[in-house]
Structure 1
């Protein structure tokens, strides 16, 4: 247990306090809500890689604070030559996760600041920028919530996949931000959270967040979504994103692509809620998005017990790519793109 003097809540998943970074350890939820404190950038990179923190916007915010720790350590080590000394830590942070573009967006923003700083102690300036990134992400989530809720004609029920709540962002959430706002307006009466195999973010995190907010939630196995859509009760599938290509293709947690295909067959609309920092105009389509593969043990084991035979081979992609043609709306803090295509994404990003 950390010495951070606040009670852990979803909206406090990333905290800076008295020169330390604190992360709500998402590997322990929902059994325990505990913060872990960090003093070194290498520790922060390890926390991102091992999923203490996850969710593209939250990873970006965390990486920005990691740069603060890196800058402080580099100045203590090298004095006026801190810009040369910080390089290794920046590379460690960049290598932590390959798919979430917010990580690289945040690091690039911090690098631009570093290039303009003098040779004195950079800690204060870096911290001010990291706090701005954090606050901007919180504000973006709330705006996304407002714009996304405006698309929903209620009352209805919705499905969400993985976790795109406050835990996955700087606060409030993207997909769950839309759900929070729409529920407050009486437009959503129940949320169905896919369990999200194999890491169970839906079961462990999304269900916990919604229950903390008092929003009616039913947990379901991922393979149960089709039969639920067939009842006609589902108005929207609402998900987040880890990277959106220039043509509107969306990389999100594995299973999102199949859910979007099911939604199209059943006449259910698909909404992707994400900040513009998730949009990567350097990639023409989703075919260029790097898809992370994680440890086989995540599939071979369940609940700490092996469930597959010895010697079984494993395919464990963390994300899949949903083609833009299956997405009805991408909701960002800058506005809504309906039936996304390259021209509409370029217009939004150049606005």
Structure 2
């Protein structure tokens, strides 16, 4: 088993095929950018930091294939691949960040052979930085947790959502390393069950106590005082709010009502100081994710669906954002959030 969620190998970009977990562990290799884009759209690879790494590796892959294939204009080919990568998941800001960080290097180099080598070096650097960033986030976040606590988390913000370690789950892992007693409640996270399929899989493999609940059970557990804090990841942090997996906002509202700390764990690359929540295009996914379950139709054909992948949580509901450089608290006037 690989040490990382996504990596570079001779044939292309390797990744853990997350749609098969927990039933089957499989590694796949994306030999070209269209296959990598399909993997991103199908959620074979997902999670904001991992998408940043995927975008970076995707540009390196485009350079490699353009150089080896001698197909048309090298730079036009790479820029076209970069545009395709950016469009794969519009709400997650890290994807475009990873693409653009490598592309900026590509466009300043005149020798295609040198471009391909530099692109891969920068992509590998981004992957290395991501793991180090997550460990720093984990260290800062662990300080917030009591010596014994129960943490609620939503979706998957663990090693599977990053190159390694994780953001929200990285905080939990770091706290456990510090000998704190941490129990985790993972919301199943409908409709694709990232909380039960991925978060529960990760934590159970690590020997960290985890119990999975249906999403709508979280409020009742908060009412019963069985949750000490909530920790989630983020796909984009704007000047006035946080976008994360759909359902995050309702957990934040209920946590605020019950005076339970609500923490967001995310790296600098997830911050978007140029936009407010109202500016963001929220990805809508297909009907089939809601209208069927375990091979059975669960909705009449004539009934439409709304299947937003993310929701926005105002910063007024966030206790603190945990970053690789420390904590950001209200009034959230940090430079990363200033236009």
Give me the TM-score of the superposition, normalised by structure 1. 0.93
Quickly say closer, same or farther: Cα 1:46–1:212, change in 2 above 3 A. same
Between stretches 162-171 and 304-313, larger displacement belongs to 304-313
- CA RMSD in angstroms, aligned pairs only: 1.7
| Unaligned stretches of 5+ residues in structure 1 | 1-6
Q: How much has 1:86 moved relative to structure 2?
A: 1.6
8 Å contact 1:157–1:236 — kept in the other structure?
yes
Structure 1 position 76, deviation (Å)? 2.7
Secondary structure of the residue that 1:36 maps to in structure 2?
A: strand
Aligned residues: 338
| Closer/same/farther in 2, CA of residues 116 and 310 from structure 1, 3 Å limit | same
The match for 2:161 is: 168
SS at 1:142 equivalent? helix
- Equivalences for 1:107-122 in 2 at 5 Å? 107-121=99-113, 122=115
After TM superposition, give the deviation of residue 102 of structure 1 in Å.
0.2
Cα distance in 2, alignment partners of residues 231 and 339 from structure 1:
27
2:133 to 140, 161, 168: 140
- Work out the CA distance in 2 between the residues paired with 1:223 and 1:315: 18
1:308 aligns with 2:328: no
Equivalent residue, structure 2, for 1:24: 16
Q: Aligned partners of 2:331 and 2:152: how far apart in 1? A: 21
C-alpha deviation, 1:256, in angstroms: 0.2
Residue 52 of structure 2 aligns with which residue? 60
SS in structure 1 opposite 2:19? coil
CA distance in 2, matches of 1:287, 1:154: 39
| CA deviation string 1:105-135 (max 9, x = no partner) | 1111012101221223122111100000000
Structure 2 unmatched runs, 5+: none
Instruction: Decide whether aligned partners of structure 1 residues 14 and 349 sit closer, same or farther in structure 2, where only a CA change above 3 A counts.
Output: farther
d(CA) in 2 for partners of 1:280, 1:188? 34
Q: Could you tell me which of 85, 88, 106 is aligned with 1:96?
A: 88
Deviations 1:264-316 (A, max 9, x none): 11111000000000000111x21222210000110111122211122111010
Task: Tell me by how many angstroms 1:188 deviates.
Answer: 4.0
Partner of 2:150: 157
Structure 2 counterpart SS, 1:167? helix
Name the counterpart of 2:319. Answer: 328
Match of 2:290 in 1: 299
How far the C-alpha of 1:80 sits from its partner, in A, is: 9.6
* Structure 1 contact 203–219 (Cα < 8 Å) conserved: yes
Q: Is the 8 A contact 2:52 2:96 kept in 1?
A: yes
Secondary structure of residue in 2 paired with 1:234: coil
SS at match of 2:112: coil
1:208 aligns with 2:229: no
TM-score (norm 2): 0.96
Q: 2:235 maps to what in 1?
A: 242
Q: Confirm or deny: 8 A CA contact 1:81 1:119 kept in the other structure.
A: no
Aligned partner of 2:256 in structure 1 is 264
CA distance in 2, matches of 1:93, 1:251: 20
Matched, 1:337 2:328: yes
Separation in 1, partners of 2:254, 2:298: 28
Which deviations, in whole Å up to 9, do the C-alpha atoms of 1:221-276 show, x marking residues without a partner?
Answer: 001001111222321100000000023x0000000000001101111100000000
